[in-house]
Amino acid sequence: MSRILLIDDAALMRNLLKRILVPQGYDICGEAIDGVDGVEKYKSLKPDLTLCDISMPGMDGMDCLKKILAFDKDAKVVMCTSQGKENFADEAINAGAKSYIVKPINTKNVTEVVGRVLAGGGVNYKELMMENAERAGLDQKEVLDFFDAFRSLTGQDMDDLSVDRAYLKEKKGNVTIGAEAFLAAKLSLDKINRLVDVFEKLCE
């Protein structure tokens, strides 16, 4: 049974996460009310996974993440952030967080992210690209065409556990050039350019 530490100043959020995770068979081994408390509890409990809020009084989630990783470079930390503040989540990923959950949270999202990170993966870049592409005015069929191009060019699906930010950066040039040729017969140049732009932003 995987042991999970919850770090969030809001008791309501900790209780919601418990209601989602406990029925899934996870052990909530500890709860912390801020970053300072979270670091101390991490050191004493050494959980398999930590869910940490970004916005907290005192020591915030970013500083908490950095201190946990300084203590244990292999720590699996998932950050929780409010909708519209995904840029903080990107900063956390670059600092070493494995993934993030956007509030308001739901059972499907929490279960998918927790299961993926515990299995050795991180951010689901396929799902993230779909969300970002839709915000850029692209429809699902067009994004699915890009995923076909990515698979053809790399031999990997974008949601494979091995696909992380480092992998995307390594494949960025090949995918950017190859996708333009792969999609030329299916999509307009404008749509291709927008898809490539969304993909390149994932690689930053």
In this predicted structure, what is the pLDDT of residue 82? 80
Angle, CA of 21, 26 and 31, to the nearest 5°: 75
pLDDT at 89: 75
Residue-level pLDDT at 93: 85
The topology (CATH level 3) of 3-122 is Rossmann fold (3.40.50)
- What does the pLDDT read at residue 204? 81
**In the Cβ-directed half-sphere of 194, how many Cα atoms lie within 13 Å?**
17
191-202 burial code (b ≥16 CB/10 A, e <16) = bbebbbebbeeb
What is the per-residue pLDDT across 71-120, written as a single tens digit (0 to 9) for each?
999 999 999 988 656 667 778 888 899 999 988 888 999 999 999 999 99
Rounded Cα gap, residues 92 and 54, in angstroms: 9
Enumerate the domain spans of the chain: 3-122, 126-202
What residues form DSSP beta bridges with 101? 80
* pLDDT tens for each residue of 42-61: 999 999 999 999 989 889 89
Q: Could you report the per-residue pLDDT of 120-174, keeping only the tens digit for each?
A: 999 999 988 998 898 889 999 999 999 999 999 999 999 999 898 889 999 999 9
- Which pLDDT score, from 0 to 100, does residue 30 have? 97
Contacts 24+ apart (CB under 8 A), 62-69: 62/88, 62/91, 62/92, 62/95, 63/35, 64/7, 64/35, 64/36, 64/38, 64/39, 65/92, 65/95, 65/96, 65/97, 66/95, 66/96, 67/35, 67/39, 68/38, 68/39, 68/42, 69/95, 69/96
Tokens of 189: 């140049």
State residue 128's pLDDT score: 87
Residue 19 has pLDDT above 80, yes or no: yes
